Structure 1
């Protein structure tokens, strides 16, 4: 089945569990789409981020990989932060960027666990050392693990999910902000879940709701005085390594089939939202959310 046929057929991947979180993209079958759009064409860049320097967390796989690739195609040099154990996926992403841009864009791989404040400071410092500027702070990393009952949700998992999904965002913003100038952008990757309330992802859903509130407050603080825009992307079901590494067999077999479009989305269909929010095309938008979710209405 071709990639365009996968889109049109309402393709739902077969169950293919992975033991590590957030999962390995190079083990997925089929591999998520980084560039290929629903009509069978490839993403067409237009120089929207020419000369910019972007920091992309979780850029080794899934949505983050597609964001990093599209940003590079649009003219940005990119730092990609990834867990040390995701080295192969990160290198694959860097290789793709070099291939698609004919080696014109610089890529810095940063194998850093972002769950501590010191590591977040280190990641920003390494980016600044390499590039000397920070125009787009793209915070995409995250973790989840389904637990059906809150009575079975351990305090250790609750704290780990918050450390990964929201505390690190606070640390990274504080470390990055002194380096960001007027016209810079921040874009966070949240989720559909705080708008619908996923019953099996109470901790994850809570962090994503906190992320939306954090971004709105930041926007009101930064956009006027500093001219830094802050926005959020809230994807629905997207085919990424996080799915086979965190979902049950029943959930994965029906993954994406319940949205109006009847299929899971692909990373590139979310990454285009990040390009929009990071570019001058969205110059009058801040504190806003975009919902690439297959047609589900978020009133």
Structure 2
């Protein structure tokens, strides 16, 4: 079968050429006010709604996913539910309509969904988020941090102190506060999975603050893994490559570069869809990865890392 007439796989296990398993989106230039809505993107990212097939790998688990309204976080929330987990999602209040779609997907899988809007820059939100997740799910044993802030600027002088601080407040300090709030509830066998980026290794010059924050997440998570493995809690990292999410049209990249997004960076010749990232998070939360701790799993289409 040629790559031109290759049928799309029915689920994540279907055999396909990885270069064409999902289309090269080549999105038209488009902008949204931050944080943006996935439902208003062209094309709308694939969260695996029609393709992700669970096999019972997370039955009985109780998971909290930040950034669970859209993009990678939403794909993870849907995959976890289809694997048998009850799921709480965190998101900004402005993203409610996207969050509603994910809640529908979780409940359609027969699992409990808990939606907790709020802002990770709010120092009181992490505690409230964890408390509401624990109350709604009846406990917590899987923490997945995906939410992030990304703004492109053409020059270092264009990055204000306020932007730099906001990026680290969401991406790094928000994670720190979230882990502190969740830790008292996590028992041996629990997992924490954070989200770095290819940019932790190869920083884009127009996203210096974002790239630096992702490097900090990677380092923090590896240190945390050494601290918590003695308690039977595994900490790991997923580092995505270019992935088509609402971060891009809401100021994350230069809009003029969107038609080539991912195709010029990844050896695969295309950006990833969020659905392609979800299995990595499922693996790291499941017992299949019981001997994996302190690892960064790069899901980047073949971009070589150190």
Residue in 2 aligned with 1:297? 304
Task: Tell me which stretches of 4 or more aligned residues in structure 1 moved more than 6 Å.
Answer: none
1:191-216 deviation per Cα after TM superposition (whole angstroms, max 9, x unaligned): 10010121111100111000001100
Which residue of the other structure, out of 35, 45, 56, is the alignment partner of 1:32? 45
Report the equivalent of 1:271. 278
TM-score, reference length from structure 2: 0.91
Question: Which sits farther off after the overlay, 4-13 or 245-254?
Answer: 4-13
Q: Tell me which of 159, 184, 206 is aligned to 1:200.
A: 206
| TM-score normalized by the length of structure 1 | 0.93
The CA distance in 1 between the partners of 2:292 and 2:121, in whole Å, is 30
Change in 2 beyond 3 A, CA 1:250/1:18:
closer
Aligned residue number for residue 60 of structure 2: 51
In structure 2, the CA distance between the partners of 1:108 and 1:179, relative to structure 1 (3 Å rule), is: same
CA distance in structure 2 between the partners assigned to 1:106 and 1:132 by the alignment? 10
2:179 is the counterpart of 1:179 = no
Alignment of 1:47-126 (within 5 A): 47-99=56-108, 101=109, 104-126=110-132
Name the CA distance, whole Å, in 2 between partners of 1:81 and 1:8: 30
Which residue of the other structure, out of 270, 275, 280, is the alignment partner of 2:287?
A: 280
Which residue of 2 is the match for residue 190 of structure 1? 196
Report the Cα distance in structure 1 between the residues aligned to 2:173 and 2:84, rounded to whole angstroms: 30
Contact 1:58–1:81 (CA under 8 A) maintained in structure 2: yes
CA contact (8 A) 2:68 2:76 kept: yes
Residue-pair matches, total? 291
1:140 matched to 2:146? The reply is yes
Give unmatched runs, 5+ long, in structure 1: none
